[in-house]
Amino acid sequence: MEIPKELWEAIEDLRYLLSRGYPREGSLQAVGNRYNFTQDLRHLLRRGVFPAHVAEARRRKMVSVEEIRGKQLAIDGYNVIITLESALKGKTILLADDGFIRDISGVSGGYREGAATTEALGLIADLLEASGPAQVIFLLDSPISGSGELAARIRALMRERGVCGDASAVKVPERIMEGYKGIIASSDSALIDQAQGVFDLAGHLIREKLKASFIDMGMKR
């Protein structure tokens, strides 16, 4: 996706409004309308720009890959898989104000396994095997078609790699992760805000293994 010069002005405009307490939805609409942005660019702003105090609070919760060793880890399955697949497919990836890497695909509800799924799962399994969390729970949204079969596939892969834990398709994974006492792996804003510690699993792999390009929302243009 070609990024227009106006994007960087729009980012600053949105930050200005949010930092002064203007409502998020109204600010997003106003800035998007001012620059006559497409839905993709509006979604990029939504996923990438946050008030400074929110961004800083989230950054303080971030843990490194070294810090998950010996810890309990809950993985927000589709959030991580879809972000990785987007990077593998060369789709737009962004580094948001809060330090988390996100995609703008918006495909979660209609997700279907594809050629990139095997590669994404392999990357995740490699990381879990090497990093040594004490136990992993890999959660998928059961209302999404094929979630049960994908969970079984992930369970088999975890057993093969000697990763202790389980993979499950549940109706509302957020309910489990919202009360989780260990570390969560997700870039979902609501989950990050209530978590004690967060590992940006997809972001780590995108930066360190895939070396994929991304839009840095803090970079001036």
Residues 176 and 205 in one domain: yes
Residues 92 and 32 in one domain: no
Three-class SS state of 1: coil
Three-class SS state of 159: helix
Domain that holds residue 202: 61-216
11 lies in some domain: yes
pLDDT at 221: 44
- For residue 145, what are its two tokens? 């078609």
- Structural domains of the chain, count: 2
Contact 180, 139 (CB under 8 A): no
pLDDT at 69: 98
Please give the mean pLDDT across all residues of the chain.
94
Residues 84 and 10 in one domain: no
43 lies in some domain: yes
Average the pLDDT over 113-127 and give the result: 96
Tens of pLDDT along 182-217? 999 999 999 999 999 999 999 999 999 999 999 998
Cα-based torsion angle of the residue sequence 194, 92, 140, 126 in order, rounded to the nearest 10 degrees? -100
Question: Phi then psi for 149, rounded to 5 degrees?
Answer: -65, -40
Quote the crossing angle between the two packed helices 115-131 and 147-161, to the nearest 10°. 40
Residues 76 and 128 in one domain: yes
Residues 85 and 33 in one domain: no
Three-class SS state of 135: strand
pLDDT at 5: 83
**Confidence at 19, pLDDT banded by 50, 70, 90:** very high
1 lies in some domain: no
**Percentage, residues of the chain above pLDDT 70:** 96
208 lies in some domain: yes
Residues 83 and 161 in one domain: yes
CA nearest neighbour of 85 among 197, 183, 212: 212
Residues 65 and 39 in one domain: no
CA nearest neighbour of 218 among 88, 59, 79, 90: 59
pLDDT at 3: 65
Tens of pLDDT along 66-93? 999 999 999 999 999 999 999 999 999 9
Give the CATH number of the domain where residue 137 resides.
Answer: 3.40.50
**Confidence at 106, pLDDT banded by 50, 70, 90:** confident
Residues 42 and 72 in one domain: no
Residues 94 and 144 in one domain: yes
Residue 95 pLDDT > 90 = yes
55 lies in some domain: no
186 lies in some domain: yes
Question: Phi then psi for 178, rounded to 5 degrees?
Answer: -65, -30
Residues 166 and 72 in one domain: yes
Cα distance from N-terminal residue to C-terminal residue, the chain: 16
CA nearest neighbour of 159 among 198, 197, 202, 129: 129
Residue 110 pLDDT > 90 = no
Residues 13 and 71 in one domain: no
203 lies in some domain: yes
Tens of pLDDT along 20-53? 999 999 999 999 999 999 998 999 999 999 999 9
